Structure 1
Amino acid sequence: MIFKNGELFSGPGGIALGAKLARFTDESGEQWGFKEQWANDFDRDTVDTYKLNILNNLNDKTVYCEDVSKFPIGDKEKLPDIDSLMFGFPCNDYSSVGKQKGLNGVYGPLYSYGVKAMKAYHPKVFVAENVGGLSSANEGHALIQILKEFVETGYHIVPNLYKFEEYGVPQMRHRIIIVGVRNDLYYKGIHFHVPAPTTPNSEDQETAQKAIEDPPIPKNAPNNEIPKTTKRVAERLSYIPEGENAWYIGIPEELKLHVKGAKLSSIYKRLDHNKPAYTVTGSGGGGTHMYHWKENRALTNRERARLQTFPDNFKFIGNKESVRKQIGMAVPPRGAKVVLKAVLKTFAGIDYDWVEPTEKLQLNNLLGSNGIVLKGLDQ
């Protein structure tokens, strides 16, 4: 079965590429996979990147550069029926790095457009993604409200905190992914389970150095321009060992940062060559661009893309800051592949190794402790 897929907040195509990689043929010869039906994002460079790499067609008319509030969700002449829905709703108001305004922020309520699409199309399955900080935003009430709406829309849901370094991604990137199977299908025996980690042990996890250097990045690879580094920044970095940041005790006084209240661990932080990278981000000022473990410079966008598991021939459209943003905001394709392949195997009736969801995200614990009772929810 090939699922006709709709995608909101598509980004440059991390989830979509993961969906392509998840395709397989079962023992009977039937193909299982996802086919793009329509998608949207509000950023022009991001949409062009998606069209170029996922659809191989910059003139494609099924990927819309449009604010989601104006996107014609439910207009089936423009946006036809779908079997699956995927949406990495914006994380800005849920990230633990920010102010965590949650549902009270500008971006916080945008998950509701996913709910709108679920009500309009009743897809067999949906996959929603957000930062780990979602579980603590609004003192935990944001996540509960979101899950409550997903369930009341008619889905059996399995939320889980995926630690992507445990799934073959060379980066300590922790994200909540919620998979929902439509109730009528769930009660017929289609039960999604969290796929078991493929690299649960630290000694098996891919390191930053291996991801960036093995094999070497081709000289003609796109988005690989070496960033400019000022003499002062290079000198400061020369005193910072790998794995340490701008507050390393060995930095001379004249090169230390004197920013009141700023102790973010990622500022001028070098990678540790022998561990997965810390989280690739898409924005931030001086000192937040990720730094090489050995060379006194920030990473190139291609090096960041490798940490996000995009292939070298995946070309990002836009200037350096636009590309940086696209890479940092994307879902790692390799991580998305693991989850989406488990979704396909669930529907195909193929067994796979699985684990229980993260304890604090198990619905009995999460909803029950807050006095919320959802009628008809089979836990």
Structure 2
Amino acid sequence: MIFRKGELFSGPGGLSLGITSARVVDSSGNEYSIKHEWSNDFDESACKTYRRNICKNIDDPSVIEGPVQELDIESLPPIDALAFGFPCNDYSIVGEHKGMSGDYGPLYSYGVKVLNYHNPKFFIAENVGGLQSANEGKAFIQILRELGEAGMGYTITPHLYKFEEYGVPQKRHRIIIVGIRKDQNLEFKIPAPTTPNQYVTAYDALNNPPILDFTENHEPTKHNQKTIEMLNYIPPGKNAWYEGIPEELRLKVKGARMSQIYKRLHPDEPSYTVTGSGGGGTHVYHWEEPRALTNRERARLQTFPDHFVFEGKKEKVRQQIGMAVPPKAAQIIAEAILKTFAGIEYDSIEPKWTFKELVKEEKVPYMI
């Protein structure tokens, strides 16, 4: 059984790479997999990256570049699955916390529109952990309700995944919502962590195997001498506010001090969260060498293989990498979905929330 996948806000294809890499075989020898059918994103560089790596064709018309607001949903080919990492800008703990009142907050509704028209058998939606608390928790409830009521109706299972527990060498926590169409009569269970007690470290990610100098997207960042001198005083795991930095090298910052500013990785731990934007001090820094990581090193922390080449200028590549879903985590979740359809048992854990519990806590009428 091959599920045809549509995707919104597809970015460079981290979610798609993981999903389309998933394969399971049932007791009768039938293989279950997911294939790309169409995708949409407004960013030119991300679309080029997606075409090159997911479609293997830089001119593939199935990757539709443009604003999701202008997408002709009814003209899109039929699909069995929908994936969408709807923009997180207004739900992130970093920023203005606009939630539903921001420009990006309501964009999840385009996923609802696809569900209403195409009625795929399942969907995967992704967003930051801050979604749970946006608009005093009401945004999360509204999104879950609309997804559950879309089309023919979906049984939804939201969970806060800690990706370092699934083999990703990065402390990246994201909400993944899996919905299975109700007429399928299937129950999705949260796949159990694969590395709960032995995380993949930053050292493992960047050195096993070493990155070859001629690898694409591996250009170094140029630093001024003061930054290099400051980094030399910062131990692994510490940041720009480390007390051992001489006064003349310290940053002159008033107000809030973000913990990730010039923070160096610790070689024996997973990385802290790789981001797609931000000024000086937010690029993730090597534990030994006084420098920021290259884009290829950041891609390693996101579990992209070295043969996955990102298109665009250096900052555009950084943006794509930081905004992507780690393919390794996406594959594990997709395999659990395929096992659900194939009737294959797998180790699972309880979800962080159930919709009924969330609604009860918020005292919002339960509609589904």
Does 2:360 correspond to 1:368?
yes
Counterpart mapping for 1:99-110 below 5 A = 99-110=96-107
Q: Distance in 2 between matches of 1:222 and 1:309?
A: 15
**Shift in Å at residue 220 of structure 1?**
2.1
Unaligned runs of 5+ in 2: none
Q: Distance in 2 between matches of 1:141 and 1:247?
A: 36
Q: Once structures 1 and 2 are overlaid, which stretch shifts more, 221-230 or 302-311?
A: 221-230
Give, as a single letter, the amino acid of the residue that structure 2 aligns with 1:21. Answer: S
Equivalent position of 1:133 in the other structure: 130
**Shift in Å at residue 139 of structure 1?**
1.4
Counterpart mapping for 1:1-379 below 5 A = 1-75=1-75, 79-153=76-150, 154-186=153-185, 190-201=186-197, 204-358=198-352, 361-375=353-367, 377=368
For residues 32-60 of structure 1, the C-alpha deviation after alignment (integer angstroms, 9 at most, x for no partner) is 11111110100010000000001110010
SS at match of 2:74: coil
Give, as a single letter, the amino acid of the residue that structure 2 aligns with 1:369. Answer: E
Q: Distance in 2 between matches of 1:21 and 1:151?
A: 27
**Shift in Å at residue 13 of structure 1?**
0.5
Query: Number of residue pairs matched?
Result: 366
Q: Distance in 2 between matches of 1:3 and 1:244?
A: 45
SS at match of 2:48: helix
For residues 219-245 of structure 1, the C-alpha deviation after alignment (integer angstroms, 9 at most, x for no partner) is 221000111111010001011111010
Unaligned runs of 5+ in 1: none
Q: Distance in 1 between matches of 2:366 and 2:356?
A: 11
Q: Distance in 1 between matches of 2:207 and 2:214?
A: 15
Misfit runs of 4+, over 4 Å: none
SS at match of 2:303: coil
Q: Distance in 2 between matches of 1:363 and 1:299?
A: 40
TM-score (norm 2): 0.98
Q: Distance in 2 between matches of 1:120 and 1:103?
A: 23
Q: Distance in 2 between matches of 1:229 and 1:100?
A: 32
For residues 51-74 of structure 1, the C-alpha deviation after alignment (integer angstroms, 9 at most, x for no partner) is 000111001010011100001112
For residues 183-212 of structure 1, the C-alpha deviation after alignment (integer angstroms, 9 at most, x for no partner) is 1113xxx110000001111xx110001100
Q: Distance in 1 between matches of 2:22 and 2:161?
A: 17
- The Cα RMSD (Å) is 0.9
Q: Distance in 1 between matches of 2:32 and 2:268?
A: 37
Give, as a single letter, the amino acid of the residue that structure 2 aligns with 1:30. Answer: N
SS at match of 2:362: coil
Q: Once structures 1 and 2 are overlaid, which stretch shifts more, 323-332 or 146-155?
A: 146-155
**Shift in Å at residue 15 of structure 1?**
0.9
**Shift in Å at residue 99 of structure 1?**
1.5
TM-score (norm 1): 0.95
Q: Distance in 2 between matches of 1:94 and 1:319?
A: 27
Q: Distance in 2 between matches of 1:278 and 1:234?
A: 21
SS at match of 1:74: helix
For residues 252-280 of structure 1, the C-alpha deviation after alignment (integer angstroms, 9 at most, x for no partner) is 11111111113100000000110000000
